Structure 1
């Protein structure tokens, strides 16, 4: 396989609910599996295995519309920094004040989900903080955007929204097929590629099961992929897949 490691990043996911590291099944808060009461310890584990960038979600914040697990996530950011790794954070980030607060805590960039529908607002975020600090969280079902912690399903086309976001300066997108999230059924690479075709650097999320899925995302020339349940359940070995990416295997 010809994997271009220069443009592909694998993001281990740390989803925080009530201060604990969990995974949801298809975004259902009632269908959660708790993996650790020490999210910062999980961050240290992934960094020690070679992760350079962590994807962190404040699940309580996503539902509440404002940050809830700030202290716990701050510990994750500090742990990552100790290992020379970066952190992107999502969940309830909808205002410039919220973005500024996270960036001030050392977060490298933020994921804007619900507010990504507001094109003018997203443009103002890019102008204020720079394109590299902003990721559009384009999550949904059947190609249509889901918001408010995935609790509300809209009729907004993810790909059409991506086109408009690119036009106003957004350059990064996290693309999650909610129906595949937590299922280990494989990522929706077609949707991620359609978003990337608009000009955005697309990170595939939801359904990554094993090294083959990660390498498929890399070979699809995507910007990256997020792995969560596969790492926690052991169907994906982080150190091994990072080595495979480096070797272009």
Structure 2
């Protein structure tokens, strides 16, 4: 299982939201590249990076910081937020991003995502509110069940599915293991849990659960409820 520490970018700063609400943004650093470097020093292999402004605008909005993070770390980076067309995908891949995350466009145009997955390293972001897919930076909830969307990407060539229980995100209330497993079962694609991770016990629970490929850690690190270095050591020993 891979632990992917997260950096969410808003107005060039490293922030965390609660339940996806932009007005809930809490700033943790004015230098996101330094946070990325800390993750690398702790033992991370991957960085989960999100352009929050881009997610709402539908186009890249934090390019300067993304470029700086890429230049200042050797981490593999997956990046999401506002990626809606091939031009943006190619721009990020050329910049050195290792994998792009397609979220809102995956719900609206799954055929496009499958086409892109045949040409570029792609992860699908499935974010859900009460089991239904949330889009446009979680500002809208669709009528599609998250598991139905997951089925769309079975044998599609996407590298991973990142599933977020929006009601858990940023709350430190524990990860939704069952939701993650339902997405993994529906898709057959390596599935990464996101939302609600609180402490080392959450990491242990996921490690003991067959079928979960990874977990994204955000607020638990920033608020100090999870010793990230110990979490990496725990995974390494498994």
TM-score, normalised on structure 2? 0.96
Return the offset for 1:247: 1.4
Where does structure 1 lack aligned partners over 5 or more consecutive residues?
Answer: 1-7
Cα distance in 1, alignment partners of residues 208 and 192 from structure 2: 13
Cα distance in 2, alignment partners of residues 109 and 168 from structure 1: 16
- Structure 2 counterpart of 1:140, from 114, 128, 132: 128
- Structure 2 counterpart of 1:203, from 165, 172, 192: 192
- Structure 2 counterpart of 1:63, from 47, 56, 59: 56
Return the offset for 1:27: 0.3
Match of 2:118, SS state, is: helix
Cα distance in 2, alignment partners of residues 32 and 79 from structure 1: 25
Cα distance in 2, alignment partners of residues 235 and 172 from structure 1: 27
- CA deviations on 1:94-141 (whole Å, 9 max, x unpaired) are 111111111111010011000012121111111222xxx101000011
Paired residue for 1:4?
A: none
Cα distance in 2, alignment partners of residues 240 and 91 from structure 1: 29
Match of 1:162, SS state, is: helix
Correspondence list, 1:177-216, <5 A: 177-197=165-185, 198-216=187-205
Cα distance in 2, alignment partners of residues 144 and 171 from structure 1: 22
- Distance 1:168-1:247 versus aligned 2 partners, 3 A rule: closer
Q: Which moved more, 1:36-45 or 1:214-223?
A: 214-223
Where does structure 2 lack aligned partners over 5 or more consecutive residues?
Answer: none
Cα distance in 1, alignment partners of residues 177 and 115 from structure 2: 29
Cα distance in 1, alignment partners of residues 157 and 182 from structure 2: 18
Cα distance in 1, alignment partners of residues 100 and 158 from structure 2: 12
Q: Contact 1:56 / 1:90 at 8 angstroms: preserved in 2?
A: yes
Return the offset for 1:246: 1.2
Taking CA–CA contacts closer than 8 Å with sequence separation of 6 or more, which of the two structures ends up with the larger relative contact order?
A: 1
Q: Contact 2:155 / 2:188 at 8 angstroms: preserved in 1?
A: no
Return the offset for 1:168: 3.1
Q: Contact 1:80 / 1:87 at 8 angstroms: preserved in 2?
A: no
Q: Contact 1:159 / 1:195 at 8 angstroms: preserved in 2?
A: yes
Paired residue for 2:113?
A: 122
Cα distance in 2, alignment partners of residues 218 and 73 from structure 1: 30
1:226 aligns with 2:226: no
Return the offset for 1:79: 1.9
Q: Contact 1:86 / 1:107 at 8 angstroms: preserved in 2?
A: yes
Q: Contact 2:155 / 2:189 at 8 angstroms: preserved in 1?
A: no
